[in-house]
Amino acid sequence: MGITGILTTIALILTTAGSGWAEKFHGGHTGACEGCHGSRGADTNYTSLLGPDPSSTCLRCHGAPNPQAHQIATEPAPARGLAPKAMTPGGDFAYVKKNYSWVNTNGTGGSSPGERHGHNIVAAAYGYVGDSTLHVSPGGSYPAQSLSCISCHDPHGNYRLVDVYGTIATDINPIGESGSYGAVPTANGAVGSYRLLAGKGYQAGGTSHVFAHDPPIAVAPKEYNRPESGRDTRVAYGKGVSKWCANCHEAFLQGSSMSHVHPSDAELGPIAGVYNNYIKSGDLSGIQANAYTSLVPFQTTETTDPQQLAAELTSSNGPNPDDRVTCLSCHRAHASGWDGIGRWNMKGTFITVGGEYPGIDAGGKGKEGENSTGKLRTEYKAAMYNRDPAQFATFQRQLCNKCHARD
Ligand code: HEC
Ligand code: HEC
Ligand code: HEC
Ligand code: HEC
Ligand code: HEC
Ligand code: HEC
């Protein structure tokens, strides 16, 4: 097949809409070599890429003006006053290009710069540049100027789950399908690692940094890029979430030594009961069966069986005492509308004011910079994945309270 034929095939594959996308290119491992390396005629060793760098190569397919399914970057980034559109568990990278600023009623100003909103991947063809203030991963030493999609995802998808006990390997059993949607490995067929994430021994392009921890075991629903106005998009996280982040943020795993603001990978214990009772500020009348929110997800104990995790996707059950708080309980993996890649605005006092989201076009305390973060109310709502503000209290405080109920 010539290059035109290949491109037509790829184009055909990519016009399939919605959850029909699942597994059409990588299929849980790498994908057609030509999809990233181009025609072999020009390059017999696969040493060149279709983009000027790895992330630019990924964004050819993973960025779009109206991102669907696996597209995780609104491209080009929306103009001032408009919000990025992807609503995936990982989040839309365009937030790292969105700079917000405001003037408070007392005349003081503030800002929430784009580079605070996410992992600043370097992608020259799309205007993504490395972080200018954090030169290495906080709590670790990963160089910010080398951060790209392949710092975290193995482009060749070599890591695989070979059994239901959490064994990850790179060289046993071929990968039959994606490991992100609940497929179970068999005696002679593995499934890919969750989201093609890299594991132990991985050394990404151009750095001497080596991963010490394997990818987490987790299961996502097939439809995962959607507004959460009606129902939440629940990812069932199993074993290894916080340890995986600690591949680059090594010191933050020992939260109790106060190297980070909060412990991770700790069992919830009695806090599970608080989570289950908490509905909103001032309302602790909830029950476990309705308690889940994707704004504060948790890890299901040390579960490694994808089938067991898949059973949770449609549940709204809150946690049990042996479930765990993880880095992803508070942060997203890619980017968000908030500083520190928060799942919610971790800097302000209020998440709703008088029953509405804050915003520079709101009144009262909703207009104050720490609450509005410089966004219009429509932008704020989009950063909350279009949730109805009526889900919260009239004056809703920080979601730390979902676990601590100090409001
Ligand atoms: C030719 C288009 C194309 C390119 C280039 C591409 N992807 Fe993808 N990617 C897709 C499609 C289509 C899907 C959804 C179907 C699938 O998973 O195969 C996807 C899915 C994914 C997923 C989810 C897979 C899963 O099983 O959960 C990840 C992670 C991902 N891509 C990362 C990357 C990274 C990193 C790069 C660059 C090194 C990249 N992709 C390059 C088309 C592409
Ligand atoms: C710092 C590590 C990191 C970087 C950098 C990164 N990813 Fe991810 N990505 C993750 C993790 C972790 C998840 C799983 C998120 C979850 O389920 O909560 C994920 C999820 C995804 C998904 C599934 C959809 C979603 O957002 O949940 C796709 C597709 C994807 N990544 C592609 C990419 C591409 C393309 C790039 C570069 C433009 C990239 N990632 C950069 C860690 C990373
Ligand atoms: C491959 C290395 C790598 C991995 C894995 C990684 N990070 Fe990072 N992270 C970095 C680097 C480098 C920075 C600093 C540069 C930047 O923010 O763009 C950073 C910055 C951050 C920040 C600060 C953002 C800000 O600007 O305030 C948060 C929060 C964060 N990471 C959370 C996570 C979480 C959660 C995970 C696991 C899902 C994770 N990281 C996995 C490399 C990594
Ligand atoms: C999803 C995108 C993607 C696909 C599909 C892909 N590659 Fe790659 N490949 C990359 C990236 C990105 C690099 C650069 C890695 C780096 O800088 O460390 C790379 C590097 C390589 C290298 C250089 C050595 C190395 O491993 O770093 C070889 C050889 C290679 N690829 C072969 C292949 C072959 C053969 C296929 C098809 C089976 C393939 N690739 C499919 C993205 C891809
Ligand atoms: C209970 C919530 C919570 C958990 C769990 C959590 N964090 Fe954080 N993290 C925060 C808050 C709050 C901040 C400060 C955010 C801000 O205001 O910018 C923060 C900041 C960060 C920063 C930026 C620090 C800096 O010096 O710039 C990084 C990096 C980070 N977290 C990574 C992680 C990693 C990795 C884990 C898991 C090992 C983790 N976090 C677990 C709440 C949490
Ligand atoms: C998913 C539930 C969860 C969320 C959300 C959460 N916490 Fe916690 N928090 C815990 C657990 C569990 C512990 C006890 C950890 C342990 O056993 O050491 C804890 C402990 C603490 C402690 C005691 C510190 C220590 O070192 O023991 C403080 C303070 C705290 N949390 C503050 C916060 C703040 C501030 C936020 C919001 C940014 C937050 N928490 C969000 C679950 C949570």
| Domain locations in the chain as residue ranges | 236-404
Which has more pLDDT, 12 or 143?
143
Task: Please state, in angstroms and rounded to a whole number, the distance separating the CA atoms of residues 64 and 70.
Answer: 10
DSSP 29: S
Percentage with pLDDT > 70 across the chain: 92
| Interval between CA 90 and ligand 2 midpoint (Å) | 6
Cβ of 333 below 6 Å from ligand 2? yes
- Rounded (5°) CA angle 177-92-312: 50
Cβ of 177 below 6 Å from ligand 1? no
| Interval between CA 161 and ligand 3 midpoint (Å) | 24
Protein residue closest via CA to atom 41 of ligand 2: 149
Cβ of 179 below 6 Å from ligand 2? no
For residue 57, pLDDT beyond 50: yes
- Cα 55 to its chain centre, rounded Å, is 16
CB-CB contact of 354 with 367 (8 Å): no
107: confidence class by pLDDT, cuts 50, 70, 90:
confident
Exposure of 66 by Cβ count < 10 A (0-12 exposed, 13-18 middle, 19+ buried)?
Answer: exposed
258: confidence class by pLDDT, cuts 50, 70, 90:
low
- Measure Cα distances from 383 to 98, 164, 298, 332 in Å: 12, 36, 20, 12
From the CB of residue 395, how many other CB atoms can be counted at a distance below 10 Å? 18
Task: Please state, in angstroms and rounded to a whole number, the distance separating the CA atoms of residues 145 and 182.
Answer: 35
Identify the CA nearest to 91 among candidates 110, 113, 116, 74: 74
Q: What is the pLDDT of residues 335-390, one digit of tens each?
A: 999 999 999 999 999 999 999 999 999 999 999 999 999 999 999 999 999 999 99
Q: What is the pLDDT of residues 135-178, one digit of tens each?
A: 999 999 999 999 999 999 999 999 999 999 999 999 999 999 99
CB-CB contact of 99 with 114 (8 Å): yes
- Measure Cα distances from 100 to 103, 111, 120, 342 in Å: 11, 6, 16, 15
- Cα 211 to its chain centre, rounded Å, is 19
| Interval between CA 82 and ligand 3 midpoint (Å) | 25
Task: Please state, in angstroms and rounded to a whole number, the distance separating the CA atoms of residues 204 and 158.
Answer: 13
First to last CA, the chain: 63
Cβ of 360 below 6 Å from ligand 1? no
SS3 assignment for 103-125:
ECCCCCEEEECHHHHECCCCEHH
- Rounded (5°) CA angle 54-121-223: 85
Task: Please state, in angstroms and rounded to a whole number, the distance separating the CA atoms of residues 364 and 358.
Answer: 9
Protein residue closest via CA to atom 38 of ligand 6: 400
Q: What's the confidence (pLDDT) of residue 15? A: 41
pTM of the model: 0.96
Q: What's the confidence (pLDDT) of residue 179? A: 97
Which has more pLDDT, 143 or 48?
143
Ligand 4, pocket-test mutation among 14, 37, 50, 170, most atoms within 8 A of CB: 37
Ligand 4 atom nearest residue 31's Cα:
5
Ligand 5 atom nearest residue 134's Cα:
27
Task: Please state, in angstroms and rounded to a whole number, the distance separating the CA atoms of residues 117 and 101.
Answer: 13
Q: Which amino acid is at 259?
A: S
Cβ of 180 below 6 Å from ligand 1? yes
Protein residue closest via CA to atom 31 of ligand 6: 262
Ligand 4, pocket-test mutation among 46, 70, 145, most atoms within 8 A of CB: 46
Task: Please state, in angstroms and rounded to a whole number, the distance separating the CA atoms of residues 189 and 153.
Answer: 21
Q: Which amino acid is at 202?
A: Y
From the CB of residue 20, how many other CB atoms can be counted at a distance below 10 Å? 11
CB-CB contact of 14 with 68 (8 Å): no
Whose tokens are 């594991």? That residue is: 199
Exposure of 297 by Cβ count < 10 A (0-12 exposed, 13-18 middle, 19+ buried)?
Answer: buried
Protein residue closest via CA to atom 37 of ligand 5: 327
Cβ of 142 below 6 Å from ligand 3? yes
Cβ of 26 below 6 Å from ligand 2? no
